[in-house]
Structure 1
């Protein structure tokens, strides 16, 4: 193991009691093939405040394979972004990869990713899905629209269908860890730091066990956070809407004044007035909400709270 390059595998876990053992068995088969490539692996499971028996299974696995299995258990649920950061921060490997425990990220691709980095001088080899088979149609539709929108309004390119599953060099991981922001959007961060990246394509694979914890509204909120994190376009949009509303109001004032003076047709009717007031009030609240979203993110950053809090690690098993 001393002469082999170490690959740290970060696995965020939230209620994955049904998947962990299946994932470990699948990865052990891949590990044997990686050994032929002069590479060894370490597992870094991050328990993100799971409410099932995930932590119990991780304890057993750490005792069973104490040489390779490590785990970090949070004091509560901090979210996948915090789990990713914790795993990267604690990874010791020459290369680091991020994988889901549900085996939607094909473990066998890891061998090709390693060869590509070594032979083609890449800093990162990522993966992207070329199909969304098995997903609800409405979820797939909004996912495609998200990538289309964010790539139009942001200077940071985010590849459509890109997964968090990627193999990165130590240099790239260290660069990512330099970004200590509280509000994290890893897909954007992976692109923002730069570095030479190649993507491997594969068709969508359904979960091996359990159910996804991502709801439609959860993904929608995550998408909005990504747009706010990597684009100021919504703020510009709010300013433009405000300016257009003001110009329209001035034009209407002149129209009403001219019509009254020339045609002796004074404006009457409270219905149209109520509609105008409600319309403008709605636009104001909408724009205020956009500004509030950015202000809220800034407020959270200024608090400088830790990204995560650790309650237990594998070291506590022998303490």
Structure 2
């Protein structure tokens, strides 16, 4: 069986196009297919559309609906937990992940000893230049200072064996960054490249700010480089302040000048204070992640599934 996990947040316009496109490609796939749609607290009619899908294809379409919006990472984890297939793939509902690649991905994984076939965009055509610049910068930084290699342009769209999925499910941390987890668990992975695609319908919920925060979470989750940088900044500031102090004392002893220079002194104090606050902010970010982990809160809360519809009928 092939399980297709689809996180959904306000995707009522895209979902009909998605199901139609994948169903057309399913004729080229010899495996039986199950769809697992995860409604991540959508505020539109996404859940209504998913219920209609289940009525149309009751043996193939399953859905999970959260009690509120927990984020895409939680939706991915819930979908992987619910998947029953020997092969599992993760796809976005907006058709930016080409369904026509699925048959080739299955062929690759069955005709070799690899555990995962990932996909990556060969270009960023249609993406705002500022977003592309910072995306490339993120991958350069995380690969240089992080402990886990991440492929530039890699998507969450990938086909995985059951063994790899079980390994990912064993990573039960609350603060999740799936791109990093996919790489961290290991397993042999090959990548397929394709040209960037625009959404088939609807609007993206990923703003520049949300992507920036997501990248910061990824950097913190898979690297302690910010803490190291904070330590070096603190040490450099301390050494610089010591040199400046020696210079001021020698200048006062040789030339006098006991009172002048207070503007520069204030500037130095403000600069050093800013560095201290920056370092404290970095440390606080790590402490905040630890705080959330120690609470042991559930990654998500389910409000409704397709089984509830059956119970109501009974």
TM-score w.r.t. structure 1 length?
0.96
Q: What is the distance in 2 between the residues matched to 1:83 and 1:183?
A: 13
SS at 2:155 equivalent: strand
Which blocks of at least 5 consecutive residues in structure 1 are unaligned? Answer: 1-5
Taking the TM superposition and a 5 Å limit, the aligned residue runs for 1:212-223 are: 212-223=204-215
Deviations along 1:108-136, one digit per CA (max 9) or x if unpaired, are 10111101011121100000001111111
Map of 2:23 onto structure 1: 28
Map of 2:158 onto structure 1: 166
Taking the TM superposition and a 5 Å limit, the aligned residue runs for 1:112-261 are: 112-261=104-253
Report how far residue 262 of structure 1 moved: 2.2
Q: What is the distance in 2 between the residues matched to 1:259 and 1:19?
A: 71
Deviations along 1:119-154, one digit per CA (max 9) or x if unpaired, are 121100000001111111111111111101110011
Deviations along 1:62-112, one digit per CA (max 9) or x if unpaired, are 111001000000000000000000000010000100000000000010111
- Residue 275 (structure 2) aligned to one of 274, 283, 300: 283
SS at 2:65 equivalent: strand
Map of 1:3 onto structure 2: none
Aligned length: 311
Map of 2:59 onto structure 1: 67
Aligned-CA RMSD value: 0.8
Map of 2:82 onto structure 1: 90
Report how far residue 271 of structure 1 moved: 1.1
Deviations along 1:7-65, one digit per CA (max 9) or x if unpaired, are 10000000000011110011111111103xxx111000000000000000001111110
Q: What is the distance in 1 between the residues matched to 2:294 and 2:257?
A: 56
Map of 2:2 onto structure 1: 7
Q: Which sits farther off after the overlay, 297-306 or 263-272?
A: 263-272
SS at 2:271 equivalent: helix
Q: What is the distance in 2 between the residues matched to 1:92 and 1:183?
A: 25
Report how far residue 292 of structure 1 moved: 0.4
Report how far residue 263 of structure 1 moved: 2.8
Q: Which sits farther off after the overlay, 243-252 or 226-235?
A: 243-252
Report how far residue 220 of structure 1 moved: 0.1
Which blocks of at least 5 consecutive residues in structure 2 are unaligned? Answer: none
Spell out structure 1 runs of 4+ moving beyond 2 A.
262-267
Q: What is the distance in 2 between the residues matched to 1:250 and 1:144?
A: 38
Q: What is the distance in 1 between the residues matched to 2:151 and 2:129?
A: 20
Deviations along 1:200-249, one digit per CA (max 9) or x if unpaired, are 00000100000100000000000000000000000011111111111111
- Residue 306 (structure 2) aligned to one of 300, 309, 314: 314
Is 1:146–1:223's contact at 8 Å kept on the other side of the alignment? yes
Report how far residue 187 of structure 1 moved: 0.2
SS at 1:201 equivalent: strand
- Residue 50 (structure 1) aligned to one of 42, 51, 73: 42
